[in-house]
Protein backbone atom coordinates (compact mmCIF):
# COMPACT_ATOMS: atom_id res chain seq x y z
CA UNK A 1 0.00 0.00 0.00
CA UNK A 2 1.22 3.49 -0.81
CA UNK A 3 0.05 6.91 0.25
CA UNK A 4 0.90 10.56 -0.20
CA UNK A 5 0.50 13.30 2.39
CA UNK A 6 -1.25 16.24 0.73
CA UNK A 7 -1.83 18.42 3.79
CA UNK A 8 -1.00 18.54 7.50
CA UNK A 9 -3.66 20.39 9.51
CA UNK A 10 -3.83 21.25 13.21
CA UNK A 11 -5.94 23.24 15.65
CA UNK A 12 -4.81 24.65 18.97
CA UNK A 13 -8.15 23.87 20.68
CA UNK A 14 -10.48 20.89 20.22
CA UNK A 15 -13.56 21.84 18.21
CA UNK A 16 -11.80 24.66 16.33
CA UNK A 17 -11.37 24.54 12.56
CA UNK A 18 -8.02 23.06 11.60
CA UNK A 19 -5.58 25.04 9.49
CA UNK A 20 -2.75 23.78 7.27
CA UNK A 21 0.90 23.97 8.33
CA UNK A 22 4.05 23.66 6.20
CA UNK A 23 5.75 21.03 8.34
CA UNK A 24 5.15 19.13 11.55
CA UNK A 25 7.07 17.43 14.30
CA UNK A 26 5.55 14.05 15.12
CA UNK A 27 6.14 12.63 18.59
CA UNK A 28 4.79 9.57 20.39
CA UNK A 29 1.95 11.85 21.55
CA UNK A 30 0.97 13.06 18.06
CA UNK A 31 1.53 16.27 16.09
CA UNK A 32 3.26 18.90 18.18
CA UNK A 33 0.99 21.95 18.65
CA UNK A 34 -2.25 20.10 17.84
CA UNK A 35 -5.07 19.98 20.40
CA UNK A 36 -5.50 16.23 19.84
CA UNK A 37 -1.90 15.41 20.77
CA UNK A 38 -1.65 13.62 24.10
CA UNK A 39 -1.91 10.32 25.89
CA UNK A 40 -5.14 8.90 24.47
CA UNK A 41 -6.36 6.49 21.77
CA UNK A 42 -6.06 8.70 18.65
CA UNK A 43 -3.49 11.47 18.30
CA UNK A 44 -3.41 11.52 14.48
CA UNK A 45 -6.14 10.93 11.87
CA UNK A 46 -5.45 10.06 8.23
CA UNK A 47 -8.29 11.05 5.91
CA UNK A 48 -8.97 10.32 2.26
CA UNK A 49 -8.68 13.36 -0.01
CA UNK A 50 -12.40 13.25 -0.83
CA UNK A 51 -13.49 13.44 2.82
Could you tell me which residues are beta bridge partners of residue 21? 8
Would you state the pLDDT for residue 50? Answer: 86
**CB distance 49 to 31 below 8 Å:** no
Alpha-carbon distance 18 to 35, whole Å?
Answer: 10
Question: pLDDT, tens digit, for every residue of 1-51?
Answer: 898 999 999 999 999 999 999 999 999 999 999 999 999 988 998 888 887
Q: pTM to 2 decimals?
A: 0.78
Q: For residue 49, what pLDDT is reported? A: 87
List CB contacts of 11: < 8 A, sequence separation 6 or more: 17, 18, 19, 34, 35, 36
Q: Output the CA torsion 4→37→27→6 (10° steps).
A: 10
Amino acid sequence: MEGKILSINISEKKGDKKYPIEEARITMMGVEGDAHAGNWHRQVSLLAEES
